[in-house]
Amino acid sequence: KNSPYRDRSPEENLELFERMRDGEFEDGTRVLRAKIDMASPNLHMRDPVLYRIRKTQHHRTGDKWCIYPMYDFTHCLSDSIEGITHSLCTLEFEVHRPLYDWVLDNVEVHCHPRQIEFARLNLTYTVLSKRKLLSLLQEGHVDGWDDPRMPTVSGLRRRGYTPASIRSFCKTIGLTKFNSLTDVALLEHSIRQDLNETAERRLAVLRPLKVVITNFEEGKVEQLEAVNNPKNPEAGTRT
């Protein structure tokens, strides 16, 4: 059903929008909507809200503004202003793409980015929800975003994962539009494979026992040579 205000004149809408910007109305009493198609099968195309009133302190602009754009309106415009050519999103944004393209087609933009959707990464035995990870941080269960127990890039770095191993893992699983669950063992295999080819070998005696050798000449020293990495001859040797 159409809004009773849908056929207002552009002049009246501009006047009301300026009054919204000037703080004349309270939160939730006015919104600015795009006039698209109320009969569209896509709910996001049924005259979506572009601006709403939020009289709250902004961390950068303070109280300068009391109207703020909705995500679907700013997403595509920010991409265009920043020169983004391909906007990669998870599958839940697939139904938002028609509105993404509509906004870009109806305003003057620097470029027209292309939105592409893919399935998000899900790992077994691993929490990847930013909301839940934030709760772990705020409740003091972890020391920070770079805690080795966190499945973040900084956390993986502290755990010993190399950039090459993470890239190899991503290349192995690839991109898909099918929601699936990837075994965390595949991620662990990637780091083992990378370290096996790049890490130099070392031996250490953690709990030494005193041994007296009775059949070796006192003061004599023998040097033994060992390879640094049997998988990589270029790593050289050590004595």
Residue-range domains of the chain with CATH: 10-118 (3.90.800), 130-198 (1.10.1160.10)
Write the pLDDT tens digit of every residue in 137-189: 999 999 999 999 999 999 999 999 999 999 999 999 998 888 889 999 999 99
18 pLDDT band (50/70/90 cuts)?
very high
Write the pLDDT tens digit of every residue in 113-143: 999 999 999 999 999 999 999 999 999 999 9
Q: CB of 106 within 8 A of CB of 73?
A: no
Record the pTM: 0.71
Angle formed at CA 151 by CA 150 and CA 155, multiple of 5 degrees: 60
Cα 158–chain centre separation: 19
